[in-house]
Amino acid sequence: MTASGPRRDTRGIVDAAELFAHVRFRRHVPATPELRPYVDNYWFIDWDLSEPYASHVVPHPSVNVVFQRYGEDSSGEVSGIGLDLFTKKLTGVGRVCGVKFRPGGFRPFAPARPVSAWTGRRVPLDEVFAGAGDASVAAVLTPETDHARVAALDAFLLAHGPEPDPQAVQAMALMELVRTDRTIRRVSELARTQGLSSRSLQRLFSQCVGVGPKWVILRHRIHDALERVESAESAGGAKAAKAQGALDWAGLAAELGYSDQAHLVRDFTATVGVPPTAYARRLSDP
Protein backbone atom coordinates (compact mmCIF):
# COMPACT_ATOMS: atom_id res chain seq x y z
CA MET A 1 0.00 0.00 0.00
CA THR A 2 1.38 3.35 -0.97
CA ALA A 3 1.33 6.10 1.62
CA SER A 4 2.78 8.88 -0.53
CA GLY A 5 -0.47 10.83 -0.37
CA PRO A 6 -4.22 10.44 -0.18
CA ARG A 7 -6.17 9.46 -3.28
CA ARG A 8 -7.49 12.43 -5.25
CA ASP A 9 -10.52 10.72 -6.76
CA THR A 10 -14.10 11.68 -5.87
CA ARG A 11 -15.52 8.16 -5.84
CA GLY A 12 -18.78 8.03 -3.90
CA ILE A 13 -19.40 11.78 -3.83
CA VAL A 14 -22.61 12.58 -5.66
CA ASP A 15 -22.02 15.65 -7.85
CA ALA A 16 -18.56 16.35 -6.48
CA ALA A 17 -18.24 19.66 -8.34
CA GLU A 18 -21.30 21.00 -6.56
CA LEU A 19 -19.94 19.95 -3.18
CA PHE A 20 -16.57 21.61 -3.80
CA ALA A 21 -18.36 24.81 -4.82
CA HIS A 22 -19.92 25.03 -1.35
CA VAL A 23 -17.22 23.76 1.04
CA ARG A 24 -13.45 23.58 1.49
CA PHE A 25 -12.63 19.88 1.22
CA ARG A 26 -9.15 18.42 1.82
CA ARG A 27 -7.59 15.03 2.41
CA HIS A 28 -4.37 14.17 4.25
CA VAL A 29 -2.53 11.01 5.25
CA PRO A 30 -1.48 10.49 8.88
CA ALA A 31 1.85 12.06 9.75
CA THR A 32 2.72 8.96 11.81
CA PRO A 33 3.82 6.08 9.54
CA GLU A 34 2.51 3.51 12.04
CA LEU A 35 -1.07 4.60 11.29
CA ARG A 36 -0.90 4.62 7.50
CA PRO A 37 -1.55 0.89 6.95
CA TYR A 38 -4.91 1.31 8.71
CA VAL A 39 -6.08 4.79 7.68
CA ASP A 40 -7.05 5.64 4.11
CA ASN A 41 -7.09 9.37 4.80
CA TYR A 42 -8.07 12.18 7.10
CA TRP A 43 -10.71 14.38 5.49
CA PHE A 44 -11.43 17.98 6.48
CA ILE A 45 -14.45 20.08 5.53
CA ASP A 46 -15.04 23.72 6.46
CA TRP A 47 -17.94 25.86 5.30
CA ASP A 48 -19.53 29.26 5.72
CA LEU A 49 -22.84 29.25 3.85
CA SER A 50 -25.42 31.94 3.27
CA GLU A 51 -27.91 29.31 2.07
CA PRO A 52 -28.37 25.69 3.18
CA TYR A 53 -26.72 23.01 1.08
CA ALA A 54 -27.34 19.24 1.12
CA SER A 55 -24.41 16.95 0.36
CA HIS A 56 -24.87 13.34 -0.78
CA VAL A 57 -22.40 10.47 -0.55
CA VAL A 58 -22.64 6.81 -1.56
CA PRO A 59 -20.73 5.35 1.41
CA HIS A 60 -17.56 3.33 1.00
CA PRO A 61 -17.05 0.05 2.89
CA SER A 62 -15.13 2.02 5.52
CA VAL A 63 -15.71 3.00 9.13
CA ASN A 64 -15.22 6.70 9.84
CA VAL A 65 -14.47 8.50 13.09
CA VAL A 66 -15.99 11.96 12.82
CA PHE A 67 -15.35 15.13 14.83
CA GLN A 68 -17.90 17.80 13.93
CA ARG A 69 -18.92 21.34 14.77
CA TYR A 70 -22.21 22.79 13.62
CA GLY A 71 -22.55 26.35 14.85
CA GLU A 72 -21.80 26.24 18.57
CA ASP A 73 -22.38 22.49 18.98
CA SER A 74 -19.47 20.05 18.79
CA SER A 75 -19.45 16.27 19.03
CA GLY A 76 -17.57 13.15 18.06
CA GLU A 77 -18.92 9.87 16.75
CA VAL A 78 -18.03 6.57 15.19
CA SER A 79 -19.86 6.16 11.90
CA GLY A 80 -20.17 2.54 10.86
CA ILE A 81 -20.44 1.59 7.22
CA GLY A 82 -23.52 3.25 5.77
CA LEU A 83 -25.80 0.94 3.81
CA ASP A 84 -27.81 3.71 2.14
CA LEU A 85 -27.16 7.06 0.48
CA PHE A 86 -25.85 9.46 3.13
CA THR A 87 -27.33 12.96 2.99
CA LYS A 88 -26.25 15.83 5.23
CA LYS A 89 -27.73 19.32 5.25
CA LEU A 90 -25.10 21.97 5.93
CA THR A 91 -26.04 25.42 7.17
CA GLY A 92 -24.23 28.48 8.53
CA VAL A 93 -20.65 27.92 9.68
CA GLY A 94 -19.24 24.50 10.43
CA ARG A 95 -16.28 22.16 10.45
CA VAL A 96 -15.81 18.41 10.20
CA CYS A 97 -12.60 16.45 10.70
CA GLY A 98 -12.90 12.78 9.82
CA VAL A 99 -10.82 9.62 9.83
CA LYS A 100 -11.64 7.29 6.97
CA PHE A 101 -10.20 3.89 7.80
CA ARG A 102 -9.12 1.48 5.14
CA PRO A 103 -11.76 -1.24 4.75
CA GLY A 104 -10.84 -3.63 7.55
CA GLY A 105 -8.52 -1.10 9.19
CA PHE A 106 -10.82 -0.05 12.03
CA ARG A 107 -10.77 -3.42 13.79
CA PRO A 108 -7.29 -3.03 15.42
CA PHE A 109 -8.51 0.13 17.18
CA ALA A 110 -11.74 -1.39 18.56
CA PRO A 111 -11.21 -5.16 18.83
CA ALA A 112 -13.80 -5.79 21.56
CA ARG A 113 -16.68 -6.18 19.10
CA PRO A 114 -17.04 -7.25 15.47
CA VAL A 115 -17.01 -4.30 13.07
CA SER A 116 -20.47 -5.38 11.89
CA ALA A 117 -21.76 -4.18 15.30
CA TRP A 118 -21.37 -0.60 14.04
CA THR A 119 -22.73 -1.09 10.53
CA GLY A 120 -25.55 1.31 9.72
CA ARG A 121 -25.04 3.07 13.05
CA ARG A 122 -23.58 6.37 14.22
CA VAL A 123 -22.67 6.20 17.89
CA PRO A 124 -21.04 8.64 20.35
CA LEU A 125 -17.26 8.52 20.43
CA ASP A 126 -17.04 7.35 24.03
CA GLU A 127 -19.27 4.35 23.31
CA VAL A 128 -16.38 2.88 21.33
CA PHE A 129 -13.32 4.64 22.75
CA ALA A 130 -13.27 4.76 26.54
CA GLY A 131 -12.49 8.20 27.93
CA ALA A 132 -12.92 9.99 24.61
CA GLY A 133 -15.03 12.99 25.59
CA ASP A 134 -15.31 16.71 24.99
CA ALA A 135 -11.57 17.27 25.43
CA SER A 136 -10.80 14.83 22.60
CA VAL A 137 -13.29 16.55 20.32
CA ALA A 138 -11.93 20.01 21.11
CA ALA A 139 -8.34 18.89 20.55
CA VAL A 140 -9.18 17.96 16.95
CA LEU A 141 -11.60 20.76 16.04
CA THR A 142 -9.89 23.75 17.65
CA PRO A 143 -6.68 24.02 15.57
CA GLU A 144 -6.94 26.30 12.55
CA THR A 145 -4.20 24.67 10.46
CA ASP A 146 -4.53 21.33 8.70
CA HIS A 147 -1.09 20.35 9.99
CA ALA A 148 -2.23 20.74 13.60
CA ARG A 149 -5.46 18.84 12.97
CA VAL A 150 -3.51 15.97 11.45
CA ALA A 151 -1.28 15.89 14.55
CA ALA A 152 -4.34 15.86 16.81
CA LEU A 153 -5.91 12.95 14.92
CA ASP A 154 -2.63 11.05 15.02
CA ALA A 155 -2.47 11.53 18.79
CA PHE A 156 -6.08 10.38 19.23
CA LEU A 157 -5.61 7.19 17.24
CA LEU A 158 -2.28 6.29 18.82
CA ALA A 159 -3.92 6.56 22.24
CA HIS A 160 -6.36 3.82 21.20
CA GLY A 161 -4.26 1.39 19.21
CA PRO A 162 -3.60 -0.21 16.88
CA GLU A 163 -3.58 -3.70 18.35
CA PRO A 164 -1.88 -6.40 16.24
CA ASP A 165 -4.58 -8.32 14.37
CA PRO A 166 -3.62 -10.83 11.63
CA GLN A 167 -7.27 -11.23 10.60
CA ALA A 168 -7.57 -7.50 10.01
CA VAL A 169 -4.43 -7.57 7.87
CA GLN A 170 -5.91 -10.41 5.81
CA ALA A 171 -9.22 -8.57 5.46
CA MET A 172 -7.49 -5.36 4.33
CA ALA A 173 -5.55 -7.29 1.67
CA LEU A 174 -8.76 -8.87 0.39
CA MET A 175 -10.54 -5.53 0.32
CA GLU A 176 -7.71 -3.99 -1.68
CA LEU A 177 -7.95 -6.89 -4.12
CA VAL A 178 -11.67 -6.30 -4.61
CA ARG A 179 -11.09 -2.57 -5.09
CA THR A 180 -8.41 -2.99 -7.74
CA ASP A 181 -9.38 -6.21 -9.55
CA ARG A 182 -12.69 -5.86 -11.37
CA THR A 183 -12.51 -9.44 -12.65
CA ILE A 184 -13.60 -10.56 -9.17
CA ARG A 185 -17.38 -10.47 -9.42
CA ARG A 186 -18.50 -13.27 -7.12
CA VAL A 187 -17.90 -14.17 -3.49
CA SER A 188 -16.75 -17.66 -4.46
CA GLU A 189 -14.03 -16.16 -6.71
CA LEU A 190 -12.77 -13.98 -3.87
CA ALA A 191 -12.78 -16.88 -1.42
CA ARG A 192 -10.69 -19.02 -3.78
CA THR A 193 -7.92 -16.40 -3.90
CA GLN A 194 -7.24 -17.12 -0.22
CA GLY A 195 -8.17 -20.80 -0.12
CA LEU A 196 -11.18 -20.02 2.07
CA SER A 197 -14.71 -21.30 2.02
CA SER A 198 -17.42 -18.75 1.30
CA ARG A 199 -18.67 -19.17 4.87
CA SER A 200 -15.22 -18.47 6.34
CA LEU A 201 -14.94 -15.40 4.15
CA GLN A 202 -18.31 -14.16 5.38
CA ARG A 203 -17.16 -14.55 9.00
CA LEU A 204 -13.92 -12.71 8.31
CA PHE A 205 -15.78 -9.80 6.71
CA SER A 206 -18.29 -9.62 9.56
CA GLN A 207 -15.53 -9.46 12.14
CA CYS A 208 -13.13 -7.12 10.36
CA VAL A 209 -14.94 -5.22 7.61
CA GLY A 210 -18.52 -4.80 8.79
CA VAL A 211 -20.40 -5.89 5.67
CA GLY A 212 -20.39 -9.01 3.53
CA PRO A 213 -18.17 -9.51 0.50
CA LYS A 214 -21.13 -9.47 -1.92
CA TRP A 215 -22.15 -6.02 -0.64
CA VAL A 216 -18.59 -4.78 -1.13
CA ILE A 217 -18.42 -6.02 -4.72
CA LEU A 218 -21.78 -4.40 -5.55
CA ARG A 219 -20.84 -1.12 -3.88
CA HIS A 220 -17.64 -0.85 -5.93
CA ARG A 221 -19.77 -1.37 -9.05
CA ILE A 222 -21.94 1.60 -8.13
CA HIS A 223 -18.89 3.75 -7.39
CA ASP A 224 -17.50 2.79 -10.80
CA ALA A 225 -20.78 3.70 -12.47
CA LEU A 226 -20.94 7.07 -10.71
CA GLU A 227 -17.38 7.85 -11.72
CA ARG A 228 -18.06 6.89 -15.35
CA VAL A 229 -21.17 9.07 -15.54
CA GLU A 230 -19.31 12.09 -14.18
CA SER A 231 -16.28 11.47 -16.41
CA ALA A 232 -18.47 11.09 -19.50
CA GLU A 233 -20.30 14.31 -18.72
CA SER A 234 -17.01 16.16 -18.27
CA ALA A 235 -15.53 14.76 -21.47
CA GLY A 236 -18.63 14.90 -23.64
CA GLY A 237 -20.07 18.17 -22.43
CA ALA A 238 -23.63 19.07 -21.59
CA LYS A 239 -24.99 18.46 -25.08
CA ALA A 240 -23.64 14.92 -25.21
CA ALA A 241 -24.86 14.13 -21.72
CA LYS A 242 -28.35 15.39 -22.47
CA ALA A 243 -28.45 13.29 -25.58
CA GLN A 244 -27.36 10.30 -23.44
CA GLY A 245 -24.75 9.52 -26.07
CA ALA A 246 -21.75 10.06 -23.84
CA LEU A 247 -21.89 6.60 -22.27
CA ASP A 248 -22.69 3.11 -23.49
CA TRP A 249 -24.89 1.90 -20.64
CA ALA A 250 -25.22 -1.66 -21.87
CA GLY A 251 -21.46 -1.88 -22.38
CA LEU A 252 -20.80 -0.44 -18.93
CA ALA A 253 -23.21 -2.94 -17.35
CA ALA A 254 -21.37 -5.82 -18.99
CA GLU A 255 -17.98 -4.41 -17.97
CA LEU A 256 -19.08 -4.15 -14.35
CA GLY A 257 -20.30 -7.75 -14.30
CA TYR A 258 -24.05 -7.20 -14.58
CA SER A 259 -26.06 -9.69 -16.57
CA ASP A 260 -27.84 -6.85 -18.35
CA GLN A 261 -28.35 -3.10 -18.31
CA ALA A 262 -31.58 -3.34 -16.30
CA HIS A 263 -29.69 -4.75 -13.30
CA LEU A 264 -27.24 -1.84 -13.33
CA VAL A 265 -30.08 0.67 -13.59
CA ARG A 266 -31.91 -0.98 -10.70
CA ASP A 267 -28.89 -1.01 -8.37
CA PHE A 268 -27.86 2.54 -9.32
CA THR A 269 -31.37 3.89 -8.78
CA ALA A 270 -31.79 2.11 -5.44
CA THR A 271 -28.45 3.47 -4.19
CA VAL A 272 -28.29 6.99 -5.62
CA GLY A 273 -32.03 7.73 -5.73
CA VAL A 274 -32.32 8.44 -9.47
CA PRO A 275 -31.64 6.37 -12.63
CA PRO A 276 -28.18 6.85 -14.17
CA THR A 277 -29.50 8.72 -17.23
CA ALA A 278 -31.39 11.15 -14.99
CA TYR A 279 -28.26 11.62 -12.90
CA ALA A 280 -26.26 12.41 -16.05
CA ARG A 281 -28.84 14.98 -17.13
CA ARG A 282 -28.73 16.59 -13.68
CA LEU A 283 -24.96 16.96 -13.90
CA SER A 284 -25.25 18.63 -17.28
CA ASP A 285 -27.86 21.19 -16.23
CA PRO A 286 -26.40 24.67 -15.62
Tell me the pLDDT tens digit for each residue of 208-223.
999 999 999 989 888 9
Domains and CATH numbers, the chain: 16-158 (2.60.40), 216-284 (1.10.10)
CA distance 133 to 205: 30
User: In the chain, pLDDT over 70 holds for what percent of residues?
Assistant: 92
Amino acid making up residue 262: A
Average pLDDT over residues 196-205: 93
Using only C-alpha atoms, the chain has a radius of gyration, in whole angstroms, of 19
- The answer on pLDDT for 234 being more than 70 is no
Q: Which of 21-35, 70-84, 183-197 has the lowest mean pLDDT?
A: 183-197
More confident residue, 162 or 285: 162
Q: What is the mean pLDDT of the chain?
A: 89
Q: Which of 70-84, 209-223, 245-259 has the lowest mean pLDDT?
A: 245-259
Contact (Cβ atoms closer than 8 angstroms) between residue 253 and residue 261 = yes
Q: Which of 35-49, 127-141, 184-198, 227-241 has the lowest mean pLDDT?
A: 227-241
Which pLDDT score is estimated for 164? Answer: 92
Contact (Cβ atoms closer than 8 angstroms) between residue 236 and residue 246 = yes
Which pLDDT score is estimated for 282? Answer: 74
CA distances from 61 to 34, 58, 211, 218 (A): 22, 10, 7, 11
Helices (H), the chain: 16-22, 125-128, 134-141, 146-158, 166-180, 187-193, 198-208, 213-242, 249-255, 261-272, 276-284
For 145-177, how does the pLDDT look when each residue is reduced to its tens digit (9 = 90+)?
999 999 999 999 999 999 999 999 999 999 999
Helices (H), 181-242: 187-193, 198-208, 213-242
